[in-house]
Structure 1
Amino acid sequence: MRTAVIAVLSALALLSPALAQDGAVLTGKDAFGDFQKDAPGVKRLIEASDLDAPNVTESASNAPGSVPMPDGAVPKVPDGFKVEMVASGITNPRVLRFAPNGDLFVANSEDGEVLVFDLDEAGGMKDIKPSVFADQLNQPYGIAFYPADNPQWVYIAESDGMKRFPYKAGDLKAEAGGEPILQGIPAEHHWTRDVAFSPDGKTMFYSVGSGSNVGLDITMQPKPDGDLDAWIKDHPLGVAWGGEERRADVLAFDPDGKNERYFGTGLRNCAGMTVQPATGDLWCVVNERDELGDNVPFDYATSVKDGAFYGWPWFYIGDNPDPRWKDTPRDDLKGQVTVPDVLFQAHSAPLNIAFYDSDAWGPDYKGDAFVALHGSWNRDTRTGYKVVKLDFDASGKPTGEYEDFMTGFVIDATNVWGRPVGVAVAPDGALFVSEDGSGTIWRVSKAE
């Protein structure tokens, strides 16, 4: 009898992705899993109440073995779509951004340069060898064009600041050196900095990840120098101190880099930002902390409210206290932690987000968002390593559900050949995806 039950349960486990593709949504603990349960069409809904207690499982160290892309390997996408590789041999392709004229800009972070591809009308590469728009940069990552409708500048976020370069449509190489807009940003530990602008062009957003996993006794002491009450009074909600001041947040500036202020705090590592076309809201994808077990805490995507606090380093996913801060000095923050909008399985490592604001794929896609999940290391069974689609309703509000869209980068429990990083929507509606495991860029379009 026991053997029969086990067989039935195993069969159901194998069927769960197929059932999800038929419209069912995996919820609660059923939404947890690993790469073996991933497939285009699998849908998940994870809620804050699904959190395990911290340290239910031991903290794993399970970094992937990176192997070359196998001959003939192609990522998996939903039926009705086709995927093609459009570039390879790039050292470290990260953020992708399209200029208004359709040129594709790529942050090749490890080589300290931003590349630009001149794409033809069909979306393919005219020349497989890109131009170097700017080089000698410090780990470039985020890219933004300003003003949005007729750019005069290309802003490039570096690990220690930001530069802007004069630009006119069609430029494949910066005609002048970069003008420093921000300097002196601490670059150690989390170094991915992104940049975005408010819809009216008056505010520049710049994301800065934390300098540690959880801060305590590494980059910040249990209490700030001087009086804690004075610190709370003199700083916006949830601002950390010591080596974490001006980190784990989104900073806001004028477009020339002046008038710095905190916009959102407690965001451990907002590795990617964008503005939602339907609402004008700023969105972040956030890598949460490690070493609390396989399923704690959830990574997330969220709209960032001006002045909101998202928990790091004292709390996570609402008022859940990090047990490593045994005597947290910030009990005053309970009830003031904003719960993120869309929760991902823990350690998925979301790195970039792009809204699909095109009619090319029909109403089932317009208004939704794509997120690149770089993949886990602090989890016993590997998760992430895919691109997912976030579901939004007609009013532009997230439902909390997300769906596997592009998978197939994992070879087995040990080895992977691809780690998605950048997502960007081309003027023709195609989705471009970068991955820095094998250094490739892919184009997804509707099958003819």
Structure 2
Amino acid sequence: MTVTQRRLPALAAAAALLLAGAAAAQAPQNIDKLKQFKVSGTDLNIPPVPQEGRNANAIRENLKRVKLPPGFRIDLFAVVPDARHMAVAPSTNMLFVGTRKTTVWAVTDRNSDGIADEVKPFAPSLKFQVPNGVCWTKDGFLIVVEHNRILNFPAAEFFYEGPDVAVIPVVEQGKLIPVEEESFNHGARVCRVGPDGMLYVSLGQPFNVQPREKLKLYTEVGIGGMVRMNAFDGSKREVYATGIRNSVGHDFNPKDGTLWFTDNQTDGMGDDIPNGEINRITAKGQFFGYPWIQGKTRITEHGYDKDPLPANVTAAQVLTEAHAADLGMAFYTGRQFPAKYQGGFFSAQHGSWNRTKPNGAQVLFTSLKADGTADKTEVFASGWLDESTGLFRGRPVDVAPMKDGSLLISDDFAGAIYRVTYVGDAPR
């Protein structure tokens, strides 16, 4: 082996480091260019994700296992790697899909046949970091909430074709939470714009159970809670709710304006406790009990169970099976499904990771009483958990009604989005 050959691995490693450094330096420069409507120099050709072939066929085959109520059918809508939370576009037949990685996907059904024709990265000239949360303002601005930054994209559904898009920094990098509180755990944010036009963002706390020395800071910042702010400049930021462990799904009831959210439970306390929660916020300042209680279970870590239970705990509306990992939820606003589903909400269970017998990996439906509180919760779609082997064939993350009344379900394990339609007595 020559001296040059021996040096090749070291030279390659050095080149990789230089390229990584250049990419890291490029992202801040690009956002400055985009704010000024300047060209970033990113390749105009954005490769799409293949929508047919062996992978798509295997996903369709797995969907044959999914059980739905009579009259419903489920189909593959799009192959979308790492698909997480979804934001259906207000005016066009497309949606944007977040991930826990570095990509936001633009998914388009160009011929309106109920199947996506094109899936490609949105704004690839930017470097996203865990852009899990996507949602819309009332006038068509796309919000992307990352681990520690919030961006606003004007008219994203009309200007997504190229790599460069207009962008408004709502919260600059490192300003959503203190940088020293960043963690790989519970860093996926979700968002919604409320009836008041304000942006609501959930901030999961980064521990299994937060230590006592973090309580004051987290309460002040809104970690382990929910914050709201102006959707365009981040002004008027305030903590809206506290006592939440890690909410990865929330939505407003369009009928009464209350904000509902899912909450994931403490790990390591056994298979059957604590219950998962679906909660309802009726006013600013409500406290939902964590870390002193979750569901009906007192939390033992750090001795919280030895404290008197705080008197102002708002009880959950729905208690779900422990460790099923309740994530995205959405009120059903369509008219395609039968009347029993109109006015209620769907929610996705991602599936357990630390239970001796796996559970979850299904979609629930919850109806409401006349007073706006939860009535009954039932399984709507199941079958992604193979009961014979205990293996997951899919893990639902989010649900989103389409304009035609169909329902989309995202799955980050299979890397897909499914579409549920009501066909009545028509053959499946």
Aligned to 1:63: none
1:88-147 superposed Cα distances (whole Å, 9 cap, x missing partner) = 2x320000111111433343424412112222575523524445345521111111212x
1:374 to 350, 359, 373: 350
Q: Secondary structure at the match of 1:156?
A: strand
Aligned to 1:100: 90
Aligned to 2:4: none
Q: Are 1:286 and 2:263 counterparts?
A: yes
1:78 to 59, 66, 69: 69
Gaps of 5+ in 1: 1-67, 225-238
1:322-344 superposed Cα distances (whole Å, 9 cap, x missing partner) = 1223266863x522111111111
Aligned to 1:321: 298
Aligned to 2:362: 386
Aligned to 2:273: 296
Separation of aligned partners in 1, 2:318 and 2:218: 30
Separation of aligned partners in 2, 1:72 and 1:328: 47
Give the Å deviation of 1:70: 6.6
1:244 to 1:349, Cα distance in 2 relative to 1, 3 A: farther
Q: Are 1:208 and 2:203 counterparts?
A: yes
Q: Secondary structure at the match of 1:72?
A: helix
Aligned to 1:5: none
2:104 to 91, 96, 114: 114
1:336 to 1:129, Cα distance in 2 relative to 1, 3 A: closer
Q: Are 1:397 and 2:373 counterparts?
A: yes
1:307 to 258, 280, 285: 285
Mean Cα deviation higher: 191-200 or 345-354: 191-200
Give the Å deviation of 1:180: 2.2
Aligned to 2:409: 433
Contact 2:98–2:133 (CA under 8 A) maintained in structure 1: no
1:126 to 1:434, Cα distance in 2 relative to 1, 3 A: closer
Give the Å deviation of 1:316: 2.0
Aligned to 1:406: 381
Separation of aligned partners in 2, 1:395 and 1:314: 29
Amino acid in the other structure paired with 1:104: M
1:133 to 1:277, Cα distance in 2 relative to 1, 3 A: farther
Using the aligned pairs only, state the percent identity: 27
Amino acid in the other structure paired with 2:82: N
Separation of aligned partners in 2, 1:192 and 1:110: 7
Q: Secondary structure at the match of 1:364?
A: helix
Q: Are 1:178 and 2:178 counterparts?
A: no
Separation of aligned partners in 2, 1:354 and 1:375: 18
Amino acid in the other structure paired with 2:281: V
1:122 to 1:392, Cα distance in 2 relative to 1, 3 A: farther
Aligned to 2:12: none
1:70 to 1:282, Cα distance in 2 relative to 1, 3 A: closer
Separation of aligned partners in 1, 2:128 and 2:170: 14
Contact 1:116–1:133 (CA under 8 A) maintained in structure 2: no
Aligned to 2:315: 339
1:171 to 1:103, Cα distance in 2 relative to 1, 3 A: farther
Give the Å deviation of 1:359: 1.6
Gaps of 5+ in 2: 1-56
1:313 to 1:395, Cα distance in 2 relative to 1, 3 A: closer
Separation of aligned partners in 2, 1:364 and 1:127: 32
CA RMSD of aligned residues (A): 2.5
Aligned to 2:240: 263
Aligned to 1:234: none
Q: Are 1:195 and 2:191 counterparts?
A: yes
Contact 1:249–1:267 (CA under 8 A) maintained in structure 2: yes
Contact 1:103–1:170 (CA under 8 A) maintained in structure 2: no
1:245-272 superposed Cα distances (whole Å, 9 cap, x missing partner) = 5311001112221122111101100111
Give the Å deviation of 1:419: 0.3
Aligned to 1:354: 330
Q: Are 1:166 and 2:171 counterparts?
A: no
Give the Å deviation of 1:242: 6.7
1:240 to 1:104, Cα distance in 2 relative to 1, 3 A: farther
Separation of aligned partners in 2, 1:161 and 1:196: 15
Give the Å deviation of 1:430: 0.3
Aligned to 1:155: 143
Give the Å deviation of 1:187: 3.4
Separation of aligned partners in 1, 2:219 and 2:90: 38
Give the Å deviation of 1:177: 4.8
* Residue-pair matches, total: 354
Separation of aligned partners in 2, 1:271 and 1:206: 10
Q: Are 1:145 and 2:136 counterparts?
A: yes
Higher RCO, Cα 8 Å, sep 6+? 1
TM-score, length of structure 2 as denominator length: 0.76
Separation of aligned partners in 2, 1:83 and 1:242: 41
Contact 1:367–1:396 (CA under 8 A) maintained in structure 2: no
1:266-302 superposed Cα distances (whole Å, 9 cap, x missing partner) = 1100111211111111111111111111111111111
1:108 to 1:197, Cα distance in 2 relative to 1, 3 A: closer
Separation of aligned partners in 1, 2:398 and 2:272: 25
1:366 to 1:123, Cα distance in 2 relative to 1, 3 A: farther
Separation of aligned partners in 2, 1:288 and 1:294: 11
